[in-house]
Amino acid sequence: MRRAIPVFALIGILAVFAGCKMLEVVTEVGTAVGVATGTLSTSQADSINKTTSAVGKVFDKLTPENEYYIGRSVGATILKSYKPCDNANVNLYLNVLGQTLAMASDRPETFGGYRFLMLDTDEINAFAAPGGLIFVSRGLIKCCKSEDALASVLAHEVGHVQLMHGLKAIKTSRLKDAAVTAALEAGKNLGGEQLAQLTTAFEGTLSDITSTLVNSGYSRSLEIEADAVAVTILKRVGYNPNGLKEMLSEMASRLKPDKGFGKTHPDPKDRIQAIESQLKDSGEVKSPASRQARFEKALASF
Amino acid sequence: MRIIIIAFMAMVCTLTCAIAAGKIMSVQVEKGDLRSSPSALSAIVASVKYGDKLTIMEEQNKCCRVTTADGKEGWIHSSALTKDKIELAAVSKDAKTGASTGEMALAGKGFTPQVEAQYKAKHADIDFTWIDKMAKMKVSTKEVLDFLKEGGITLPEGGAK
């Protein structure tokens, strides 16, 4: 089993880099290597391939345009529970910072682009809707002592979009129905029954995603993946990736385990431990005066 | 084991990384920019839109040098492109009938403006005002460059692609 771990890890890492449509190909090659080297049994390999195939087929049916329209409605649903912050200066600051970070991700282009909005709540929370609509609470922004730390929050959410974690929350059965498949493939001005079937599938898809984002949260492994992407993005742009550690440490002291982020995210101390090896060459966060000044100015405005 | 892993990596790279020169790909984002070099911060030389077909000339670090049907040339990130054919249809935003009267949008298959409109009609309590406002929160290349300069941020080698 110990020898099998590198093969599983390799499949995971390569799947991330390859993207969802190549997930099945990558996994099949990976499991073939695993069987050939004796690290996986044939039945283990078959099981992994079947699971991956089911996940892959859900993704195969959705284009970036579909992802965008799912994300818009997921965002609108989130804003039913959380009031948006109508502060043009803060939202401009978040968008310039966030879109700068998104440019350095492995997925800088989504159908409608990345957009950022502050939520008017002291609850510590953030949500990334599929396609790039990202919501960050005032409470979470207040956990940041520097722009580098705030950049780590936004880069983590960009990571969820890049890795399409929202779409992974869609139940595999949701889009497999033959009538839904036919409606998804129709590509014309739909009417009547087909439009109704597709809208029902759309509602179910939104329910799967918003329920995961708001109630249950992503798995620990997906959160750790998004943290790893965040560190990569921070390094590419030129921010100190220790901003993430700085923010997580502050969050650990403020977080209530049964509410908001505390309910839907792993323990911040656990997350710090997982990224520690990526931070060993980075020193303490020391922002230039001009960067710190604009960060404090943005925070002072709400 | 090490040799197998290296061979595995090479195989996967062959499967996933290379986009062959001369290949036609489609734009899969609503609007995209062609740039003067393989960097998201270089000058915009032309714009492309959803469904446009581009010819790939070369690929560097996930950026493709492409030419448009009318001969314009520039660089665009590969995440804006798909090998799949995108056939767009004019779809009605009329939620109730789906009839081709009223406001129209060019859309592909599946969850499109038409489905969103139908969803809105069924869920009048869900407000899209701020989602539409967010769509307008665009940031220009100049704003990003000024932001980086003001914050004393120097892109490391291979930074923004």
pLDDT given at position A42: 45
pLDDT digits (tens, 9 = 90+) for A206-222: 999 999 999 999 999 99
Strands B63-67 and A115-119, bridge-based pairing: unpaired
Distance CA A271, CA A264 (A): 13
The CA distance from A58 to the nearest CA of chain B, in Å, is 13
pLDDT given at position B159: 55
Distance CA A72, CA A132 (A): 9
pLDDT given at position A302: 85
The CA distance from B68 to the nearest CA of chain A, in Å, is 18
Contact (CB, 8 A) for A247 and A143: yes
Contact (CB, 8 A) for B95 and A175: no
| pTM of the entire predicted model | 0.83
| Range from A33-42, A207-216, B30-39 carrying the lowest mean pLDDT | A33-42
| Inter-chain CB proximity B107 and A65 less than 8 Å | yes
Q: How confident is the model at residue B160 (pLDDT cuts 50, 70, 90)?
A: low
Of A266 and A230, which is predicted with more confidence?
Answer: A230
**pLDDT higher than 50, residue A284:** yes
pLDDT given at position B107: 86
Of B153 and A264, which is predicted with more confidence?
Answer: B153
Chain length of chain A: 302
pLDDT given at position A173: 85
Give the position of tokens 């970036």. A64
Nearest to A25 among B15, B90, B158 (CB): B15
**Domains of chain B (ranges, CATH numbers):** 20-82 (2.30.30.40), 89-150 (no CATH)
Residue ranges per structural domain of chain A: 4-60, 64-167+216-300
Percent of chain B with pLDDT over 90: 64
Distance CA B66, CA B53 (A): 10
Of B78 and A266, which is predicted with more confidence?
Answer: B78
Contact (CB, 8 A) for B28 and B54: no
Q: Which residues of B touch A99 (CB under 8 A)?
A: 139, 144
Residue B92 in contact with partner chain A when CB distance is under 8 A: yes
**Dihedral sign computed on CA atoms, order A116, A58, B161, B40:** negative
Of A202 and A173, which is predicted with more confidence?
Answer: A202
pLDDT digits (tens, 9 = 90+) for A7-20: 444 444 444 333 33
pLDDT given at position A28: 45
Residue B37 in contact with partner chain A when CB distance is under 8 A: no
Please give the full DSSP string across A22-65, using - where no structure is assigned. Answer: GHHHHHHHHHHHHHHTTSS-HHHHHHHHHHHHHHHHHHHT--HH
Q: How confident is the model at residue B158 (pLDDT cuts 50, 70, 90)?
A: low
Structure tokens at B71: 């001969």
pLDDT given at position A281: 86
Select from A128, A63, A31, A116 the least CA-distant residue to B130: A116
Q: Which residues of A touch B40 (CB under 8 A)?
A: 103-104, 108
**pLDDT higher than 80, residue B146:** yes
**pLDDT higher than 60, residue A43:** no
Q: How confident is the model at residue B95 (pLDDT cuts 50, 70, 90)?
A: low
| Inter-chain CB proximity A62 and B151 less than 8 Å | no
Q: How confident is the model at residue B139 (pLDDT cuts 50, 70, 90)?
A: very high
pLDDT digits (tens, 9 = 90+) for B100-137: 446 777 888 889 999 999 999 999 999 999 999 999 99
pLDDT given at position B73: 98
Distance CA A44, CA A270 (A): 29
Contact (CB, 8 A) for A70 and A205: yes
Q: How confident is the model at residue B19 (pLDDT cuts 50, 70, 90)?
A: confident
pLDDT digits (tens, 9 = 90+) for A151-187: 999 999 999 999 999 999 999 888 888 778 877 887 6
Identify the closest residue of chain A to B76 by CA–CA distance.
A109
ipTM reported for the complex, 2 dp: 0.85
Nearest to A187 among B5, B82, B87 (CB): B87
pLDDT given at position B91: 77
Give the position of tokens 């620990």. A220
pLDDT digits (tens, 9 = 90+) for B42-78: 999 999 999 999 999 999 989 999 999 999 999 999 9
| Range from B15-29, B79-93, B145-159 carrying the lowest mean pLDDT | B15-29
**pLDDT higher than 60, residue A131:** yes
Residue of B1, B116, B134 to mutate for A, most A C-beta atoms under 10 A: B134
The CA distance from A107 to the nearest CA of chain B, in Å, is 6
pLDDT given at position A60: 66
pLDDT given at position B93: 64
Planar angle of CA B132, A133, B49, nearest 5 degrees = 70
**pLDDT higher than 80, residue B97:** no
The CA distance from B38 to the nearest CA of chain A, in Å, is 12
Give the position of tokens 């404090």. A296
pLDDT given at position A188: 66
Distance CA A84, CA A135 (A): 9
